[in-house]
Each structure stands twice: as C-alpha cells, then as structure tokens.
Amino acid sequence: MNLETNIREIQKGILQWYPFREGAKCLYVGEETDAVYEMLTDPENDRIRGLFVRCVKPEELSDFAPQEEYDYIISIASLEKLENIADVLRVLAERLAPNGHMLLGFNNRFGARYFFGDQDPYTGNIMDGIEDYRRAYSKSEDKFVGRCYDKASLVSMLTAAGLKQQNYSVFPDLSNMQVLIREDYKSNEDFSIRILPTFNNPSTVFLEEEYVYNSLQQNDMLHAMANAYVFDCTRCEAEVDTSDILQVTSSMGRDREDAFFTMIRKRKSSSYADEKRGEKETVMVEKLPAYAEGEKRIEKMLEIAEHLRSRGVPVIDMELQEKSLLMPYIEAPTAQAYLTKLLEEDENHFLEKMDEFIALVKKAGADFEGRDSGVEMPGYPDLVPLNCFYEHGHFLFFDQEFETTEYPPELAVYRAIYAMRTVIEKCDSAVTLPMLYQRYLGTEDVAKWQDLEWEFISKLRNEKAMAPYFSKVRHDFGKVYSNRQRMNFSAEEYMERFVNIFKGLEDKKVVVFGSGRFAKQFMQMYGGDYEVVAVVDNRVDVQGEDFYGVKISSPEILKQLEAGSYRVIICIKNFLSVKKQLEDMGVTDFGIFDPAQRYMRERFRRGGETVSGNEAAGNGDIASAKKDDGATDSSKKPAPKKYHIGYIAGVFDLFHVGHLEKFKMAKELCDYLIVGLVTDEGVVRYKKTTPFVPFEERKAMLEACRYVDEVVKIPPNFGGTREAWKMYGFDVQFSGSDYEDDPRWIADKEFLEEHGSTMVFFPYSEATSSSKLKELINRKLL
C-alpha cells in the first residue's frame, strides 16, 4: 500500500471493529471522500458487508424527509463544524430507527494533548478549547470553523435529543485510534508502551503524553481527559442491549496480514458451571483480524502456542471460533507492571524474577539443544514482559504472533531487558541496563541487538512507508525537551543558557558535564570543534573511564581550573540539580546542551574573517571555492549560484568517476560544498560491510577534490539529515535518485523545506558504483 492508502486504512480503524448488522440501512453524515465512508461502502471489506449507505453533508440534513429512518447513523468529527449542533442532534434522533444505533465521534476540548501544548484542530492555537474558545470566537468578524466539546456538554446535548449513550474514550485520536475504552471499564494495560501519541502540531508540544496515561488512569482521570470520544447512542425508549465490548486495541497501521483488533468483551455466562459459581457474566478476549489476510495469522498463533508449550514456555489457552481467536481474560498484572513494581521495591527479588523470566524466553529457542547442532532455530521476538501476565506466582505469555528465522532467538532476550529501561532510568538502583545485558546476553555491546530490534519494530509498524506521515504527527523528543525548557526560564536566560552556548568560546576551553546520551551526542556532533579539557560526572562508578579520549573526572576538578578560562556545557536531561551544584561552586560560565537546538558552527571564512553558517547562507561572495590549482581567488567575485551552502553525504569508498560527477554537479549549484563522510564504524553498523579504504584515507582523497570545500565526519549515532542541517545550516542537500521515492527521504525533504532548505536528487550512476568495483575486486582476488 502507498502512503495515502496506509493513512486512510488507519483512519478506518475508528469503526472497523464495530459489529454492524448485515443488510442494515445506514446514514453517513460527512463527506464522500472520508475514509470512514469508504470503509462502509467498500464491497471488498470482509468486516462490514451489505450495508445500504447514504451520505449527506451536515448542512444538508434539513432536506431529508423526517419519516425516513436508519438502522445506523454515523458521523466522525463532522458535527463539530456546525454551530447548531444541538438542533442537528435532535433531527438525527428523529431519523433513528427504534432499535437503531447512532455512532458519533467527537474531539474532547479537555483532552490531555491540549494540556500538553497541542494546537486546537480548528483554530490552530494552543489552549483555545481549554478556555472554551472565549478568545477564538470573541469578535463579530471571527468566522466559525468548528470547535471541540467536553464530555458533560456532549452528554447533555445527546440526552436532550432523546438519546441514551454508551461512551468510549479514544486514544490517541479519532483519525488514529490505537486504544478505545468503555467509560465504565478500568484497563490494566501499560499505556506508556501501548499508545504512540499523535498530534495536530507536534512542534508546540512540551510533554510526552504517553508517560502520563497510567497516572491518569490510577487517579480516575483517564476518561475525563481522553483526547476524543465515540458515543454509541440509542433512543431512550429503545430496548437494545448495550455493547459487550469493554476495550478495543487496534493495530491498523500494520500490513494487512498483521492488522488486528484485540477486544475485551463481557458476555453472559453460557455454562452451568459458571452459573453455579454465581458468575452471570464472563469476560473474554477476542483477537479479530482487521482483514481477511489476517485469518491465517490467527491459525499460526495456535501453532506458535503449541510450539512454545512443547518447550516448557507457558502460553494462555486459546480457541478458534469462526474467524477470530478467543482466550480467557486474566485478572492479573502484566509481567511489565509486576517487574516494574518489583524493581521499585526490592532489587534482589527483581533480579530473581527477571532470571526466571529470561530463562523462559531462552527456553523458546536461544538455549534449545538443536541450536548447537547447526539447526537454524526460530525466534519469538514478542516474548516480552508486555505480552505476559504474572498470575499466581508464575509467568503466562499471550499474544505470540511471530515465529521467524529472520531474527535470532536472542532478540527476544534483548527486547525483554530493554523493556525495563524506563523504570531503571527512574530508580536510583544498582540495577542498570549494561548490567542486565552482561547478565543475560554476555556482553554490554548491544548495538547489533538495537539495530535488529528497530528493524523488527519498524517493519511491523510500517515506519519506513509511513515516515512522511509520522514526522508530521508524532512528537520529537528533542523538540519536546526544548519547549519544556523554554517554559522554565525567562527569554533572556534561555538564550544565554541554551541557545548561545558557544558564543564567546574563541579563547576558552570546554568542560563537558555528564557522560550519558546527551554527552555522547554533544561529543559526536560538536566535540571536534572545541578543545574539551575535561569531562566530569557525579557518578563515582564512571569516573576514571575514557570518554571520547578524555578521562571522566569528579566535578571537584573544576576547582583546579582558572576562572574565566573555561565554560561548562551541561549535557544531562535532568540538569537542574547540576545547575544548582555549579552555582554553589561559584561557577557562573556554563551552558546547557539542548539536543534539539540548532547550533551553527563557525566555519566559513571570507577574507580571513570567521563567518557563521547563518551569515554564509545569506552571502553569495564566499571566496573559499577551490580553483584548479587548489588556491583561493579573492580578486574575482563568483557568479551567483542557486544555493549558497550545499551538503552531500556518503561512504565514498573506492572513489570513482560517479562520485566525481556528483560533486561536480553539486558544486555547479552551490558556492560552498560540505561532504559528510561516514566513519568506518558507521559503515560496519549501517551498511553491514567493511570499507575497503579506511576513513582517514577516504577523507584525504575527498579533501583533494577540487569541487569539495570541506569534509566532515558524520557522527555514527547522529548522522541523519536533520542533525546535519542543525550543524551546518545548509541550503540544499544533494543525494542520488535511488532515494527519491524512499518515504524516509521524502520525510527528510519535507523537513528541510519547512525550514527553508531543500533536497535535490541527482541521477543514479548505473555505469560505475563502489559496490560493482568491490564485486569485481573480490572476483579477481578469488
């Protein structure tokens, strides 16, 4: 499926799970171009068959005859665009059949997303809905385009229209339903892992919504702050059974064979044994394929369960019923929740239970006896704490969809450990991720497993194909962090501490405070531009270790440095305690590294004067372009080119004429050409091969090229287009046409264009490539 089709399929998920009656008469209030209307009328939709659907725009409802009745009346977010919504609801209620259902979707003005900085879908401003649009539509000339309502207002209007309701809370929103929960049900899911939030405008968000869901649920606030609602309404006098569905989890973003709805249902007991125990209702879990292609997958799940049981891995009982899979509802915490609580309370007991859990995971394949005999063993990458219960002192797995030789069995071990990262980072504990990696994988070097885990997840979620969409609706951690910090400081202090951290550093040295993720990013991206004389960290266990060629020391070393000769750059996420520590030590010259900030390097020279990237981008008289003899010529002003600063990235192994042609074409379009060069480490990790020519030699050859003005090392972990743009501020990135239709590159191009830059694709060289040269060399050597 292409991007547009994928997006529309995700949008259909809001009602694709609903048990519509075949042959029913349906009125859809909205546009014929809506994805939900397409779902209702699609003759090939295996979930919804034989509906007779009529579409009407909300403003045209008055043209219908009052006596015409419908079994279903459906509208998703369309009624919010009407000012007379209460009147329209009364009209619709009159046209609902006696035993009919009205399914209505609304955005909640008190949705969590709006408290966390997201923009209103109608006004484009933050906080408008929260304050009931008192500013948005306050003037007579303001044109009404729509609004969100709160739950109380919606219930009041629906009741006044003669409708009784069953309300479902929707997360993260109506156009991308991932979890839907009935208002009287309290889920035991860990939503911080289950839900990937989406936003109207992620650039204004200042809090990671997913990490608040669980607290909202524990404090009975989840439904009040749901981002949206679906109301299943019937006429007040109707004798219609309410829905038995308590919760729906959707995976509509996956490929068709992997897309499911997992539903928790409360049904009347059908067995004598249940009635004898006084159980009038039983709760069951139903796994329903979203498409016909998924029916084979649920059959495969039964096979996988048997394979795992045969190896001593307990799996929940399941039975196939028609086209879905039924299993009992387990009133127990997930292993994820159980282990998280255990680590917070008792480290030793946590390790005992983690040992037990990992032993089960390894039983599935990693330690299986056939492995040593050379037999290729299947892996079960979903054997993770999130897909496991802890019941009566034992672990019990569920939702095991994948059995594959594509991923080694150890991947499940890595994923089980990595699933505990959030609580490990939060707890002040002796248990660390490296310690667990060493304990269960025999190494702390898990780069291989990180790559495989991302490959597995990204394939499952269609991350590559959906990249342009996700980049527009998902929050970026760095941007969230930046937005949050701006709220903690005055504008002047924010500029000083976060933005101008390199200003005035010409005669000063740098001390990096921290040795974690932020510090690694700083050293890889900017460490080579300044003299880093020390790396300090409060953690005693890391002091003395080497960190990018600098020994990690105690902050006490700052007392030995001459005041005014250095600046401390704090590279820690939770920096406030370090900020106070430095102030208490009398250190006032410090900056705070923000991974999302655009720090322009001072690199482009004009007449001996150092010019920042921003200045260079605004001038066409850069005199650093090389002539034939390698010298610069400041006596002639070069003709203006389309772009000022250009950037091109690659491995450029076995330098050949194809590379030369790319550089020549790039230089013809820009005044100053920067070449980003992948390190040997980066080639091994991302290309899964070893370069013929080492990095320093490749760099030397590129620097000798007349078309290249500067060669820079691409940071191994921070080498994407967006990171490069932050560092170099280029006006254009050049690439080969073989990436022109790649969704991730399309998303990066859109990012650049949103920030005043762009991307240009050159024709791919069919005649010569490094891969062909390597193949030829290998054949000759053999």
Please confirm whether the linkage preceding 595 is cis (ω < 30° from 0): no
Question: What global pTM score does this model have?
Answer: 0.82
- In this prediction, residue 605 carries a pLDDT of 36
- In this prediction, residue 684 carries a pLDDT of 86
- In this prediction, residue 139 carries a pLDDT of 80
Radius of gyration of the chain (CA): 30
Cβ count near 624 (within 10 Å) = 17
- In this prediction, residue 406 carries a pLDDT of 86
Q: Distances from the Cα of 519 to the Cαs of 466, 568, 609, 721, in angstroms? A: 31, 12, 30, 20
DSSP string, 617-650: HT-S-------TTS----SSPPPP-SEEEEEEEE
CA 341 to chain CA centroid, Å, is: 25
Q: Distances from the Cα of 583 to the Cαs of 227, 576, 579, 587, in angstroms? A: 42, 11, 6, 5
Extract the residue ranges of the chain whose pLDDT is less than 70.
1, 62-66, 239-242, 268-280, 366-377, 601-638, 765-782
Closest CA to 107 of 69, 145, 148: 148
Could you read off the pLDDT of 670-717 as tens digits, one per residue? 999 999 999 998 888 877 788 889 999 999 999 999 999 999 999 988
What gap in Å lies between CA 187 and CA 184, rounded to an integer? Answer: 10
- In this prediction, residue 635 carries a pLDDT of 55
Beta partners for 592? 570
Residue 778: which residues within 8 A CB-CB, separation 6 or more? none
Closest CA to 317 of 377, 400, 250, 382: 400
Beta partners for 315? 397
Strands 532-536 vs 509-513: parallel, antiparallel or unpaired: parallel
Residue 421: which residues within 8 A CB-CB, separation 6 or more? 433
Residue owning tokens 């005859």: 65
What gap in Å lies between CA 256 and CA 660, rounded to an integer? Answer: 44
Could you read off the pLDDT of 313-359 as tens digits, one per residue? 999 999 998 889 999 999 999 999 999 999 999 999 999 999 999 99
- In this prediction, residue 276 carries a pLDDT of 47
Could you give the count of Cα atoms lying within 13 Å of 655 in the half-sphere of its Cβ? 15
DSSP state at residue 248: E
DSSP state at residue 305: H
Q: In 134-188, at which residue ranges do the beta strands (DSSP E only) sit?
A: 163-173, 176-182
DSSP state at residue 379: B
- In this prediction, residue 64 carries a pLDDT of 62
Q: Distances from the Cα of 634 to the Cαs of 124, 336, 621, 627, 703, in angstroms? A: 49, 65, 9, 11, 20
